[in-house]
C-alpha cells in the first residue's frame, strides 16, 4: 500500500476504532460484491479448434470504446463464483460453446486507476459447439486464424492487445501451465 493510502487507513481506523474499521469495511465490501461481483478479477479463455483457429467474440454495439472490436471470450468473476466456473460460464454466454479448462497461459494486471484488474487467461478445449450465444453479451462469435487476429490488431480492431494477442502467442509458444497452479481458497 502506498504511503498516502496507509495514512488514510490509519486516520479512518483512529476515527472509528479497529473494530469499527473492520466491520464497516467488511459490510461495504460484501454489499458491493453481492451487487456487482468482483470487477477487479477477470478471466479469459483461449480455445483453438482442429483447424488451428481461435474462438473469438466481437463486442456488441453500445459498449463505448470497445464496440465492434474483437476479443477472446471472458469477463469478470461473479459473486460466490470461482474463477474456473467464471471462465466456463463466460465462454458459454459469449459464444454458446461448452469447454473444458486444461491450463493457464497468462496472468496479467491492468494498472489503471479507473479500471484496475487482474486477469487469468485459461486454455480450454471445445466440448460442444452450438454457437448460439447471448446477443446481450456479444455481437457475434467466430473462429479466427492467428493471421486474421494479427491483421485485426494492426487495424486497431482488437479490444485488448495485451490480453488477446499475448495470450494467443503464449498458447502458440507452448507457454501453458497446468490448472493445478491455480488454487481456490475457502474460509475455514
Q: What is the pLDDT of residue 155?
A: 95
* Nearest of 81, 123, 131 to residue 102 by alpha carbon: 123
Q: Strand 117-129 to strand 38-47: parallel, antiparallel, or no bridges (unpaired)?
A: parallel
Cβ atoms of 167 and 72 closer than 8 Å = yes
Chain segment 136-154, per-residue pLDDT in tens = 878 899 999 999 999 999 9
State the pTM of this model: 0.81
Out of 20-29, 104-113, 134-143, least confident range: 20-29
| pLDDT top residue among 29 and 18 | 29
109 backbone dihedrals φ, ψ, rounded to 5°: -130, 130
Joined together, the cell numbers standing for residue 64 give 463505448
Q: Measured between alpha carbons, how far is residue 94 from residues 30, 35, 60 in Å? A: 27, 21, 10
Dihedral sign from CA coordinates of 111, 183, 99, 38: negative
Euclidean distance between CA atoms 133 and 52, whole angstroms: 21
Distance of CA 111 to the CA centre of its chain: 15
Cell 502467442 belongs to which residue? 169
Amino acid at each position: 500500500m502506498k504511503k498516502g493510502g496507509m495514512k488514510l487507513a490509519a486516520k479512518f481506523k483512529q476515527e472509528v476504532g479497529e473494530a469499527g474499521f473492520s466491520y464497516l469495511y467488511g459490510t461495504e465490501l460484501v454489499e458491493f460484491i453481492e451487487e456487482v461481483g468482483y470487477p477487479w478479477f477477470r478471466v479469459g479463455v483461449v480455445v483453438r479448434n482442429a483447424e488451428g483457429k481461435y474462438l473469438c467474440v466481437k463486442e456488441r454495439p453500445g459498449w463505448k470504446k470497445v464496440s465492434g472490436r474483437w476479443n477472446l471470450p471472458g469477463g469478470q468473476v461473479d459473486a460466490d463464483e470461482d474463477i474456473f466456473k467464471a471462465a466456463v460460464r463466460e465462454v458459454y454466454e459469449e459464444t454458446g460453446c461448452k469447454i473444458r479448462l486444461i491450463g493457464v497461459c497468462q496472468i496479467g494486471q491492468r494498472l489503471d486507476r479507473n479500471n484496475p484488474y487482474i486477469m487469468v487467461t485459461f486454455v480450454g478445449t471445445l466440448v460442444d459447439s452450438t454457437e448460439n450465444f447471448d446477443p446481450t453479451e456479444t455481437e457475434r462469435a467466430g473462429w479466427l486464424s492467428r493471421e486474421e487476429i494479427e491483421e485485426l490488431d494492426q487495424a486497431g480492431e482488437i479490444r485488448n492487445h495485451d490480453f488477446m494477442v499475448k495470450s494467443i502467442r503464449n498458447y502458440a509458444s507452448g507457454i501453458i501451465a497446468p490448472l493445478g497452479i491455480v488454487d481456490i481458497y475457502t474460509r475455514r
